[in-house]
Structure 1
Amino acid sequence: MTHTINPSRRLLLQSLAMGAGAAILQGCQTVPAPQSIPSASHRLYLTACSGIIPAKQIQLALPRLARAGFTLENTAALERKYLRFAGTDAERAADLNALLTQSQLPSLVVAGRGGYGAMRLLPQIDFARLGARLRESGMPLIGYSDFCAIQLALLAKSGMGSFAGPMLGDFGNAHPSSYAINEFFSTLTTPQRSLHVAGPCGRASGEGIFWGGNLSVLSSLVGTPYLPDIKGGLLFLEDVGEQPYRVERMLQQLHLAGVLSRQQAIFLGDFSMQKHVDVYDPRYDFDAVVAELRRISGVPVFTGLPFGHIANKTTMPLGFPTRFRADGDSLTLQFLNYPTISPLGLQPEALLDTQPA
């Protein structure tokens, strides 16, 4: 399945015109819904819960985000280095624990990068209190890759969702993706959105909680209290750097743990499989993995969601109600009832600036 994208600046500016507060994309629709939660100012709080953040990404991303209309907070966390992590466990956990005591929460929280390390922090964070604060304030929490350990624990412990979306490294790319920027702002400022993925997909429909994240991280949480127990859910998975047999092994783990059979459907993002040849059988490829997943899960499996360790990624609410419909030629996901921010005062085109500050 493929998702049609248009990376032009003109589309970005048109789709994010002030007052519209919604995206108009080829292959992606906006559904009318209640007005988004207003924000007096756009305070963007940064976390560094995993690996060390490359200096070049910081140098490019921070000026762009500031020019886009965000007041940046906790930027000192981006400079931390301890062993292979962006600070000690205590320092990295403090990024999120600090949100428990702030009298007024920021507009949104964005993760610095993935890598490894977030899992080490889970016992040090009061996710029940954090989820309650996020729910009360309507503050989006955004990231992917290793950061999904935080997102999954938040959902498991508090029932509060978050967003699979770009991190600092995406905003600090030498040539940022206009599609990713467009999707980021359109999702965060539009209370309901639909994602349309074209391609053969069978026929099915349903509604449930859309949840998941990085397959390696999610499977590592099996047997812990930090993996959500979602029944009748819509499970989303992506990964990178894994050979086909390793992907299947992690899917088998989810199957043996009973996770897959409890879902209504499974949705796969990018796995970068074209870069990896299976060490045991060069003929065993991603299509074979998907076929095995369909066999062991017994539920519909859809591929081609534009998300993962790729430049042209969408932004998707996780842990919130979602409807899906597959009509044989295309798949549509309709995301519902997730928190948003006001588009007023934001200048998304500033994030496409490739000139140095």
Structure 2
Amino acid sequence: MISHSAAIGFGGEVSLVEAQFAKALSPGDTIAIVAPAGPLDRERIERATERLESMGFKVQAGPGLYRANDYLAGSDEQRSNELMAAFADAEVDGIFPGTGGYGTTRILDRLDYDVIRRNPKVFIGFSDITALHITIFQRTGLVTFHSPNPQWGLGSPEDLAPIAGKFFWRAILASKYKNAAGPAQAGYAIRVSPVDVDVPQPTTLSAGAARGRLIGGNLSLVHALMGTPYEIETEGRILFLEDVGEAPYRVDRMLQTLKSAGKLQKPAGVVLGAFTRREEEDTEGEVVTIDEVLSGFFADAPYPVLAGFPVGHQRNNVTLPVGAQAELDASGKTLRLLENPVVVPRTQ
């Protein structure tokens, strides 16, 4: 485990906590699939399991994995206990929440953050898992991964989209850090390249470059944490946001809340991902688009802002390490990690 000092927020207060990194994953390692939020789709999870096993991973699935309690995958006690069991299990190297949905904000006060701190593991997911990403980093310093999950990505019929797969495995696999000429260079760039023909180029809303630790995720979850002991700390950090199924006025309202709470005053920079709409949504009567809301909101930002970055509820969902030191170049439309987000085994 390698650690670096970082300012970590606790309900609006900031203190110095060591940022730490889990061991990179290699074939033979054990991945635990858990359900800390909504119920899981058996077909998709089994497909994800087969794909992980074909890569040489061992997959651990708990007996209650497909349990359903209305919109939750079990009681708060069951879900929190199973998540903590995965962190405490010395045989487990990575923890993959099967999906998001709803439920993680209900278990934040049930988790043992000292146990998580003492047992750093590769922890992934997006959407509702945002609450865990933010809280785990701010309480323990552990860098986690905002990424596709087993149900929406690894278990999709068509597997991960090319750009999603590229940056998912680039972030967490030890083999991706090999360098025949010597030690692996620290960090790497995350950008849309010319070969990514199906991925739109991001748009610069406010030019410039800045450095800071990545923090953020789903806007609705960031908003839901406001006023709680787990609210996000953004000062000096690169804030990234995405969402799904939210009307323009609701996006505006949530951003206004963050602004009023001082969360948009002094971030180092902002990365705006996909704000996708659901097919069943009726958008015909809307007088403004979400893109227009975002452009207007950040038009006069005194820090770099990059919009349309490929992260969020879409197939082109690149992996961003929450808590890792990064540099945002909004003018060059690039996000570069300045450190490796995992510990690379010496044999690599």
TM-score, normalization by structure 2: 0.79
Aligned with residue 74 of structure 1, among 61, 70, 74: 61
- Can you list the C-alpha shifts for 1:323-351, whole angstroms capped at 9, x where unaligned? 12233xx3111112311567x9xxxxxxx
- Can you list the C-alpha shifts for 1:115-140, whole angstroms capped at 9, x where unaligned? 10111000100124313421xxxx21
Aligned with residue 333 of structure 2, among 328, 331, 338: 331
Per the alignment, do residues 70 and 37 of structure 1 end up closer, same or farther by CA in structure 2, a change over 3 Å counting? closer
Please tell me whether the aligned partners of residues 43 and 72 of structure 1 are also in contact (alpha carbons under 8 angstroms). yes
Cα distance in 1, alignment partners of residues 33 and 98 from structure 2: 6
Per the alignment, do residues 227 and 297 of structure 1 end up closer, same or farther by CA in structure 2, a change over 3 Å counting? farther
Per the alignment, do residues 195 and 101 of structure 1 end up closer, same or farther by CA in structure 2, a change over 3 Å counting? closer
Please tell me whether the aligned partners of residues 213 and 236 of structure 1 are also in contact (alpha carbons under 8 angstroms). yes
Q: Supply the AA of the counterpart residue of 1:175.
A: E
What stretches of structure 1 of length at least 5 have no aligned partner?
1-35, 345-357
Are 1:182 and 2:166 counterparts?
yes
Where does 1:122-161 land on structure 2 (aligned, <5 Å)?
122-134=108-120, 139-161=121-143
Report SS of the residue matched to 1:226: coil
Please tell me whether the aligned partners of residues 214 and 238 of structure 1 are also in contact (alpha carbons under 8 angstroms). yes
- Can you list the C-alpha shifts for 1:92-116, whole angstroms capped at 9, x where unaligned? 10122114533x2522111110110
Q: Supply the AA of the counterpart residue of 1:222.
A: M
RMSD: 2.6
Q: Supply the AA of the counterpart residue of 2:247.
A: Q
Report SS of the residue matched to 2:220: helix
Cα distance in 1, alignment partners of residues 330 and 31 from structure 2: 36
Please tell me whether the aligned partners of residues 213 and 323 of structure 2 are also in contact (alpha carbons under 8 angstroms). yes
- Can you list the C-alpha shifts for 1:56-94, whole angstroms capped at 9, x where unaligned? 212322222211211011343421122221111111101
Please tell me whether the aligned partners of residues 225 and 232 of structure 2 are also in contact (alpha carbons under 8 angstroms). no
Cα distance in 1, alignment partners of residues 250 and 266 from structure 2: 22
Cα distance in 2, alignment partners of residues 302 and 55 from structure 1: 37
Cα distance in 1, alignment partners of residues 202 and 219 from structure 2: 23
Q: CA deviation at 1:241?
A: 0.4
Cα distance in 1, alignment partners of residues 287 and 148 from structure 2: 33
Report SS of the residue matched to 1:79: coil
Which consecutive segments of 4 or more residues in structure 1 shift more than 3 A?
36-40, 197-200, 273-279, 295-299
Where does 1:180-259 land on structure 2 (aligned, <5 Å)?
180-189=164-173, 190=177, 192-197=187-192, 198-201=201-204, 202-259=206-263
Cα distance in 2, alignment partners of residues 288 and 40 from structure 1: 45
Cα distance in 1, alignment partners of residues 138 and 91 from structure 2: 22
Q: CA deviation at 1:225?
A: 1.1
- Can you list the C-alpha shifts for 1:147-179, whole angstroms capped at 9, x where unaligned? 111111112212222001111112111111341
The number of residue pairs the alignment matches comes to 302
Q: Supply the AA of the counterpart residue of 1:125.
A: L
The structure whose residues are more often helix, as a share, is 1
Cα distance in 1, alignment partners of residues 341 and 272 from structure 2: 21
Percent identity for Structure 1 against Structure 2: 29
What residue in structure 2 maps to residue 115 of structure 1?
101
Cα distance in 2, alignment partners of residues 165 and 305 from structure 1: 13
Cα distance in 2, alignment partners of residues 316 and 277 from structure 1: 31
Cα distance in 2, alignment partners of residues 128 and 304 from structure 1: 37
Please tell me whether the aligned partners of residues 127 and 153 of structure 1 are also in contact (alpha carbons under 8 angstroms). no
Q: Supply the AA of the counterpart residue of 2:43.
A: K
- Can you list the C-alpha shifts for 1:263-294, whole angstroms capped at 9, x where unaligned? 01111111115966668x62311232113321
What residue in structure 2 maps to residue 308 of structure 1?
312
TM-score, normalization by structure 1: 0.77
What residue in structure 2 maps to residue 173 of structure 1?
156
Per the alignment, do residues 171 and 259 of structure 1 end up closer, same or farther by CA in structure 2, a change over 3 Å counting? same
Report SS of the residue matched to 1:206: strand
Per the alignment, do residues 58 and 274 of structure 1 end up closer, same or farther by CA in structure 2, a change over 3 Å counting? closer
Cα distance in 2, alignment partners of residues 158 and 199 from structure 1: 32
Cα distance in 1, alignment partners of residues 106 and 278 from structure 2: 31
Please tell me whether the aligned partners of residues 110 and 168 of structure 1 are also in contact (alpha carbons under 8 angstroms). yes
What residue in structure 2 maps to residue 289 of structure 1?
293
Cα distance in 2, alignment partners of residues 340 and 105 from structure 1: 17
Cα distance in 2, alignment partners of residues 270 and 77 from structure 1: 32
Cα distance in 2, alignment partners of residues 84 and 274 from structure 1: 18
Report SS of the residue matched to 2:295: helix
Report SS of the residue matched to 1:262: coil
Q: CA deviation at 1:300?
A: 2.8
